[in-house]
Amino acid sequence: MFAEIFSVLYQFADVFAFLILSAAGLAIIFGMMGVINMAHGELIMCGAYVTVGLVHGGFPLPLAQLCGTLAAGVIGVVIEVLLVRKLYKRPLDSLLATWGLSLVVTQGMLIIFGSSLAGIGTPEGSFSVGPYTFSSYRLVLFGGALAALALIYFIFMRTRFGIHARATMQNAAIAQALGVKVGNIYALSFGIGAALAGFCGALYAPTMTLIPTMGSTFIVESFVTVVVGGSNVLLGTAPAGLLLAAVRTLLNASLGQIIGQIGMLLAVIVIIRLLPEGISGLLARRSR
């Protein structure tokens, strides 16, 4: 009995980690700037490719993952300054521009690196509970998701930058009038979101086949988690991840993974219908 309960909890932690890690960066960029970043999957791919490339070059995996995270963050700042900054008042144009960027990057990676890149294998081994065997690295992914949430909370709630970022998110014009350098806030926020996307790719790199379109594996889950969470990343992302992970885990355990995926998407439709502003909108109204 204990083994079955642990198996369900393990699956829940695995799904929760996937949802949070894939959505955290996108949620920051959308919540802060209202930009739907269609190149989010390519930033995830960047973190994965840099990580695997450095491991093949002799770097230890944790250092390679840190470098992959930082590389995606730096690229995110460059994208914000060169491409996105002029399109904040034109949301459809920013969506189209980042979508075009994703196509260029995907095809460019295909030309440069080919259709796939040699993997590095999943570290950490496995452990057994009753008749079931579990990958230890999946617990690392769960820990990474919790660390990402803690980092987001610390940055945006406990630092001077976070105060300025939240002020910019609420009213950029007034924040700028009070002396906040809005352009810098946007660039750093986009960079943080991109770094979190790279962190996702870096963590999942040992578990996946690396191909130029690997970012699309994360896109559906990241977008539905952000939509269900709402525009306030500090309030909505974690509850959205918990709710969707619970729905998918229960359906996976009882009806299989395909039904679990379909059921999660149907749950998203129902939640959006009942809560157009997402979970964060509901929590914000109740706190007033």
pLDDT at 202: 95
Give Cα 66 distance to the centre of its chain: 16
Task: Copy the structure tokens of residue 253.
Answer: 């355990």
pLDDT above 90 (res 49): yes
Task: Copy the structure tokens of residue 228.
Answer: 């269900």
Identify the band that residue 287 occupies on the pLDDT scale cut at 50, 70 and 90.
Answer: low
pLDDT above 90 (res 192): yes
User: With pLDDT > 70 as the criterion, what percentage of the chain qualifies?
Assistant: 99
Task: Tell me the mean pLDDT in the region 43-51.
Answer: 94
- Which sequence spans correspond to the domains of the chain? 2-287
| Dihedral of alpha carbons 176, 178, 184, 190, sign | negative
pLDDT in tens, 122-178: 887 888 887 888 888 999 999 999 999 999 999 988 899 988 988 888 888 888 888
Identify the band that residue 21 occupies on the pLDDT scale cut at 50, 70 and 90.
Answer: very high
pLDDT above 70 (res 288): no
Q: Which residue has the higher pLDDT, 71 or 217?
A: 71
Q: What is the pTM of this model?
A: 0.93
Nearest partner of 216 among 26, 38, 11, judged by Cα: 38
CATH 1.10.3470 fits domain 2-287: yes
Residue 117 has φ and ψ, to the nearest 5°, of -125, 140
Write down the H helix ranges in 88-181: 91-113, 137-157, 160-170, 172-177
pLDDT at 257: 83
